[in-house]
Amino acid sequence: MPKIRCAVVGVGNCFAGLVQGIEYYKRHPEEKVIGVMHEKIGGYTIQDIEFVASFDVGENKVGKSLGKAVYEYPNKVRWTDAVSCCSGIVKEAPILDGIGIYVENMIKPIKQTKTVKQLKEEAVAEIKRTGARIILNHLPVGSQKATEFWAEVALETGCGMVNAMPVFIASTPAWAKRFKEKGLPVLGDDYKGMVGATIVHRTLAKLCDMRGTKIDKTYQINVGGNTDFSNMLERSRLQSKKISKTESVQSQLSQRLEDDQIYVGPSDFIPFLGNTKLMFMRIEGRMWANIPYNLEVRLEVDDKANSSGVSADALRYVQFALDKKIGGPLIGPSAWLMKHPPFQFSDSEAKDLADRFEKEGFNTPPSGR
Ligand SMILES: NC(=O)c1ccc[n+]([C@@H]2O[C@H](COP(=O)([O-])OP(=O)(O)OC[C@H]3O[C@@H](n4cnc5c(N)ncnc54)[C@H](O)[C@@H]3O)[C@@H](O)[C@H]2O)c1
């Protein structure tokens, strides 16, 4: 099989987890790859994924070889001491709205002297030169303009796109239409971690709902210690993240909760946690004879191990779509892997749809929605 040639935008912790995980399995061929949906998707294993182009704005990363940049501060993932699926030099991206006030001193963005137009021409040339076919967007929360910039680059270079973060591309009809018209696949938006806060909360909320109880209120609080959590202290950058996380839970309920009866959000930055994410979740409800109940969950997980299997699956679905010439948003894989897909389903329906997509190329939007 030809390799899956990718470009990454944002050489941060998520990316470091993805490529160090690929390296880990390369060095341990006797181990079964866990935390992914299938060993092969569209005939591809995780070892078929390679990164041939990369873009960032951090002074520690731009101009370095990608294989070295992965280990640069403020990245924290240290699972392997080298990565072999990365090649080339990290190129300068336009900063636009990528850098928040709380992370500026950690990322230390380079001084930009080129115009956005020049940087776009250079990005297009780099993607064409390297033969990348998929753009993986790992920009920080709140990077609306920067994400739109890379969606335009994908359309211009004929690349598919995996949108790992909560700026709505696959789930915005106007963008979805443009990808469809160009025959290019887009999978998004905003990773749903493998066993992350969202899927646990959704599943338990759905369970309470399906068992006929009435959920009165629920919250989910998340804390972590990496740049992602530091960035999310800036509330004005969080609008789409809040929508993405809240709607992901609301979509599983037969009756929506009032806005003031549900709180789902990243809530604080605790530096010493590093990539460990803690989630605290509570559901309060009533059952037979109006008798109250409540349940609480504390989830402790490495946030990057949680996202990397999702990346490894998403890239292979998009490559499969490119091979089969399936353009537009990928309905089943997006619903299974992302918090804010174009169409929400229950997680078991989403998994069936993702399987049907891979078996038969099934990618039909649900009727009437
Ligand atoms: N479980 C998860 O980790 C998870 C789940 C869902 C969504 N996400 C999202 O994935 C994204 C990436 O997360 P992360 O932990 O890798 O973040 P990170 O802060 O570690 O990495 C972001 C990278 O982007 C770079 N960057 C900033 N502005 C840029 C610009 N304008 N152009 C190019 N590069 C720029 C930074 O220098 C940094 O290298 C975040 O938006 C996060 O919310 C992560």
pLDDT tens digits, 15-32:
999 999 999 999 999 999
Ligand 1 centroid to 45 CA: how many Å? 25
The per-residue pLDDT for range 184-216, each reduced to its tens digit, is: 999 999 999 999 999 999 999 999 999 999 999
User: pLDDT > 70: what percent of the chain?
Assistant: 100
Binning pLDDT at 50, 70 and 90, where does residue 2 land?
confident
pLDDT, position 123: 98
The per-residue pLDDT for range 213-250, each reduced to its tens digit, is: 999 999 999 999 999 999 999 999 998 988 999 999 99
The per-residue pLDDT for range 314-332, each reduced to its tens digit, is: 999 999 999 999 999 999 9
Measuring from atom 21 of ligand 1, which residue has the nearest CA? 12
Ligand 1 centroid to 22 CA: how many Å? 19
The per-residue pLDDT for range 102-152, each reduced to its tens digit, is: 999 999 999 999 999 999 999 999 999 999 999 999 999 999 999 999 999
pLDDT, position 216: 98
pLDDT, position 266: 85
Measuring from atom 8 of ligand 1, which residue has the nearest CA? 165
pLDDT, position 37: 87
Q: Residue 74, preceding bond cis, omega within 30 degrees? A: yes
Ligand 1 centroid to 60 CA: how many Å? 15
Task: Provide residues with CB under 6 Å of ligand 1.
Answer: 9-15, 55-58, 61, 93, 95-96, 98-99, 107, 138-141, 143, 146, 164-165, 190-191, 193, 196, 226-228, 303-304, 306-307
* Beta-strand runs (E) in 159-233: 160-163, 185-187, 214-224
Domains of the chain, start order: 4-192+305-360 (3.40.50.720), 197-302 (3.30.360.10)
4 pLDDT higher than 90: yes
How confident is the model over 277-283, as a mean pLDDT? Answer: 98
Q: Pick from 101, 228, 267 the residue to mutate for probing ligand 1's pocket: most ligand atoms within 8 Å of its CB.
A: 228
Ligand 1 centroid to 340 CA: how many Å? 17
pLDDT, position 14: 98
Ligand 1 centroid to 293 CA: how many Å? 38
Ligand 1 centroid to 140 CA: how many Å? 4
For Cα atoms 15, 66, 125, give the angle at the middle one, nearest 5 degrees: 100
369 pLDDT higher than 90: no
Classify the C-alpha dihedral 37-313-12-146 as positive or negative: negative
How confident is the model over 33-52, as a mean pLDDT? Answer: 96
pLDDT, position 368: 76
What is the identity of the amino acid at 198?
A: T
CA separation for the pair 207, 219 (Å, rounded): 16
pLDDT, position 177: 98
pLDDT, position 334: 98
Measuring from atom 25 of ligand 1, which residue has the nearest CA? 10
Measuring from atom 36 of ligand 1, which residue has the nearest CA? 10
State which ligand 1 atom lies nearest to the alpha carbon of 103. 19
Place of tokens 């929360």: 141
pLDDT, position 207: 97
Ligand 1 centroid to 187 CA: how many Å? 17
pLDDT, position 58: 98
pLDDT, position 367: 85
pLDDT, position 109: 98
CA separation for the pair 154, 158 (Å, rounded): 6
Beta-carbon contacts of 331 under 8 Å, excluding residues fewer than 6 positions away, are: 341, 342, 343, 353, 357, 363, 364, 365, 366
Average pLDDT, the chain: 97
Q: Residue 189, preceding bond cis, omega within 30 degrees? A: yes
